Amino acid sequence: MRLLGLDPGLRTTGWGVIDAIDNRLCWIADGIVPSDDKLCLADRLAQLHRGVLAVIDRYGPIEAAVEETFVNRNPSSTLKLGQARGAVLVAAGLAGLVVAEYAPNLVKKSVVGTGHAAKEQIGMMVRQLLPGCLAMTADAADALAVAICHAHHRTTRRLLQAAEHRP
């Protein structure tokens, strides 16, 4: 199953595509969708939205996983991050993907083994878990970490959701 991991950010949104086949993970591609900070907020969000749609069109994932927003000390930064997440979520939703969201600490724990791992640790573990992976930027490595987290947790999430909806 092809999975898309997304690490939303207003300046740069990281993305990573993996295939999950049984218990094996295979790196397909990764990169970033940048936005031009000289543009107004609406145009920057549109850039992110179009960029994520282009990734979806090119690689054809079935499901997407998005990192949840963490609260910054700066409320304005948190709000902008939330808006970037919204643009990314809408792109995945409009493309018809099943979308899951994961807390940053769960992503780190799933990949590194601790919820407070440093960016360098995440990048190193992503490259270990996905042979051939380049993950040239921290944002792309984080997005691949989200995809790996989803690959590990997706079955459990589905079983829990099904149990909640049983009469």
Residue 159: pLDDT over 70: no
- 34 and 54 Cβ atoms separated by less than 8 Å: no
Q: Residue 17 has what pLDDT?
A: 98
- pTM, to two decimals: 0.91
**Among candidates 150, 158, 147, 119, which has minimal Cα distance to 55?**
147
CB 35 within 8 A of CB 44: yes
CATH number, domain containing residue 146: 3.30.420.10
CB 64 within 8 A of CB 97: yes
Per-residue pLDDT at 63: 97
Pick from 25, 34, 28, 26: nearest CA to 7: 34
- pLDDT at residue number 126: 96
pLDDT value at residue 158 = 66
Catalytic residues: 7, 67, 139
Range of the domain at 57: 2-164
CA distance 30 to 22: 21
Predicted confidence (pLDDT) per residue in 2-22, tens digit: 999 999 999 999 999 999 998
Number of domains in the chain: 1
H or E segment and range at residue 41? helix 41-59
Number of Cα atoms under 13 Å in the Cβ half of residue 70 = 11
Q: How many residues in the chain?
A: 167
Taking the CA atoms of 72, 82, 115 and 118 in sequence, report the sign of the dihedral they define.
Answer: negative
In tens, the pLDDT along 134-157 reads 888 999 999 999 999 999 998 776
CA distance 113 to 111: 6
User: Does the structure show a pLDDT above 70 at 161?
Assistant: no
CA–CA distances in Å: residue 110 to residues 8, 106, 162: 19, 6, 23
- pLDDT digit string, tens, across residues 22-38: 889 999 999 999 999 99
